[in-house]
Amino acid sequence: TSRDLIVALSQQYCYLLPALLLSAIQPSDIKMIKSAALFLLALPSFVVSFSVGGPTNHDGVVSREASMPSSSRVSSMIAGACIAFAAAAPAALAVSGGGLDYANLDISGQDFSKGSYKGKDFTQVIAKATSFQGSNLQGCRFYKAYLVKADFTGADLRGAALEDTSMDEASLRNAVASGAYFSSSILDVKDLENADFSDAQFPMKTIPLLCDREDLKGVNPVTGVDTRDSAMCP
């Protein structure tokens, strides 16, 4: 019947996608996206309920066939709603710091400050002038990321991987970068004052140049560790 066809189409287009996304989104993330997913889950019942309340015949009885949308129209309507949701969800999740990672995205100039992104993948991300101030970036992977003028002031970079990055004029002021992995681009960072580099890994050839920097000084306000001592500088 037409009703069965609508339900079948609804299941095909809308049940799986929202259910999968709902399971991936953390409870504290993106309430609007969750609401949209719940709407899509309820859409099949709504379509069926709406369609049976259509025109009446000459006896005053609802004519189901007259009120039922065509199968192609229902299919297009549901598919369109799901496609729109699928297109919007990744971007919204990315901006919020939700269930998706950021590899290969362009987040230049965006505000990622004071957020929790622990363990996220920022591989080859383009983050020019992006603010990560005060954010939890523990264990994050920034391999080959473009971090020119990025601001990591006060960020928690413990165990983060920043190899082969571009870090011209970036700031690591007050950052906790203990156990982090750096390449020679650490020398391009604009501000290293008060950073904690305890057990951080640097290419051997960069260590003397790093220790010669005037801004490699101070004490980290979180850990109380001396910056020069943490970098194993004399």
pLDDT tens-place values along the chain, 234 residues long: 555 554 455 555 455 554 444 444 443 344 444 455 555 555 555 444 444 444 555 555 544 444 445 555 555 555 555 544 444 444 434 433 444 699 999 999 999 999 999 999 999 999 999 999 999 999 999 999 999 999 999 999 999 999 999 999 999 999 999 999 999 999 999 999 999 999 999 999 999 999 999 999 999 999 999 999 999 998
What lies within 8 Å, CB to CB, of 28 at 6+ separation is none
- Taking the alpha carbons at both ends of the chain, their separation in whole angstroms is 82
Q: What is the pTM of this model?
A: 0.61
pLDDT at 76: 53
Residue 177 CA to residue 158 CA, distance in Å, equals: 5
Residue 107 CA to residue 94 CA, distance in Å, equals: 9
Beta bridge partners of 225: none
Residue 90 CA to residue 203 CA, distance in Å, equals: 36
Determine contact, residues 124/103, Cβ cutoff 8 Å. yes
pLDDT at 88: 45
Determine contact, residues 118/136, Cβ cutoff 8 Å. yes
